[in-house]
């Protein structure tokens, strides 16, 4: 048997349906690194090199080289503008209490759903730092089943709504599937196989598992844990309220103020910094209409001179509760 024959035979035994040469977008790579692995594997804290937990650049060069890396103008010209916040009188505890009152009357899902649909934007850079690439806004649609089978589909989205969200003209048109993964039974590895208990203790345990942080959770740690959990589940109002209890318990939590998110929805921003040697500034966005967590953002805490990115540059954002949009995947 030749090497080619052996390769074809091995491919025939592989249950994955994605073509071997299919491009893998950064959003999908990030999610895969968070959720795929042995069932008993403990989650570890994300390695935050210079900005976003989504941008594990050096680890994916071999996968995306020649497919998504493109020359681009100055990196600072390609990042979305930071949200502008108006001051609020309420402190962090009051902001979360207001959100929880709204969540008590939440008309969202009555049961947790094994699905996470998000609209995200991700920034990355070439390995030598000489060029920058913007990954356009993408829909990331994760659906999984009780038997741990499922799918992860990444679709190009319209990139014109976010202020400053410019992209290379060669990006795929909106609606183009740019990445797809299928999970066979028992392949998917979620934070919680069953619907999370709507208690602060249960949510704290999941956050600790997700981040690998110690018992002294910072606000940024709690926010990273919330992003991981919302990346796997659509939670009920009661579950979101319990998750906010974990965020509220962080001693360094601060209120950024009121603003509109990148879809124009009224929100209030909470800020924090994850523990770790190099950490970004992270933001959790709470809807002032529903109390739900509808967004997460990451920004550089310090300037990155290699990429010409000043401190405060947005390196990624993720928006949830987007399933009702006309352009959302069905």
Contacts of residue 97, defined as CB under 8 A and 6 or more positions apart, other chains included, come to none
Residues near 250 by Cβ (< 8 Å), separated by ≥ 6?
217, 218, 219, 221, 222, 272
CA dihedral 298, 226, 85, 98 (to 10 degrees): 180
Is residue 20 within 8 Å of 11, Cβ to Cβ? Answer: yes
Q: For residue 49, what pLDDT is reported?
A: 31
Residue 11: Cβ-neighbour burial (10 angstroms; 0-12, 13-18, 19+) = exposed
For residue 16, the model assigns a pLDDT of 39
- CA R_g for the chain: 19
For the whole model, what pTM was predicted? 0.77
Contact 327, 117 (CB under 8 A): no
Per-residue pLDDT of 159-177, as tens digits, reads 544 444 545 555 678 888 9
Q: How far apart are CA 42 and CA 302, in angstroms?
A: 30
If phi > 0 it is left, if psi is from -120 to 50 it is alpha, else beta; for residue 315 that is alpha
Per-residue confidence (pLDDT) for residue 70, from 0 to 100 = 35
Residues of the chain with pLDDT under 70: 1-78, 123-136, 159-171
């Amino acid at each position: 048997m030749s090497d080619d024959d052996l390769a074809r035979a091995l491919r025939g035994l592989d249950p994955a349906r994605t073509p071997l040469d299919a491009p893998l977008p950064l959003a999908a790579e990030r999610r895969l690194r968070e959720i795929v692995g042995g069932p008993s594997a403990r989650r570890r804290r994300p390695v935050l090199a210079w900005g976003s937990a989504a941008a594990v650049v050096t680890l994916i060069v071999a996968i995306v080289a020649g497919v998504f890396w493109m020359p681009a103008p100055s990196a600072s010209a390609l990042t979305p503008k930071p949200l502008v916040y108006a001051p609020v009188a309420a402190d962090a505890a009051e902001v979360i209490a207001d959100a929880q009152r709204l969540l008590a009357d939440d008309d969202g899902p009555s049961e947790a759903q094994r699905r996470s649909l998000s609209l995200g934007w991700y920034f990355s850079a070439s390995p030598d730092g000489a060029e920058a690439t913007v990954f356009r806004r993408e829909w990331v649609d994760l659906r999984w089943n009780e038997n741990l089978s499922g799918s992860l589909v990444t679709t190009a989205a319209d990139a014109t709504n976010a202020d400053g969200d410019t992209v290379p003209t060669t990006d795929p048109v909106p609606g183009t599937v740019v990445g797809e993964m299928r999970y066979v039974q028992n392949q998917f590895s979620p934070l919680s196989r069953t619907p999370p208990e709507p208690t602060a203790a249960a949510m704290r345990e999941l956050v600790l598992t997700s981040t690998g942080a110690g018992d002294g959770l910072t606000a940024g740690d709690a926010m990273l844990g919330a992003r991981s959990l919302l990346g796997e589940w659509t939670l009920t109002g009661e579950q979101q309220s319990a998750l906010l209890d974990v965020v509220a318990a962080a001693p360094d939590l601060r209120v950024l103020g009121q603003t509109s998110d990148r879809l124009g929805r009224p929100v209030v921003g909470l800020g924090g910094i994850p523990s770790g040697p190099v950490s970004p500034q992270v933001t959790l966005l709470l809807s002032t209409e529903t109390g739900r967590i509808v967004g997460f953002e990451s920004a550089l805490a310090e300037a990155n001179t290699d990429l010409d990115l000043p401190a405060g540059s947005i390196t990624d954002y993720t928006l949830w509760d987007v399933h009702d949009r006309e352009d959302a995947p069905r």
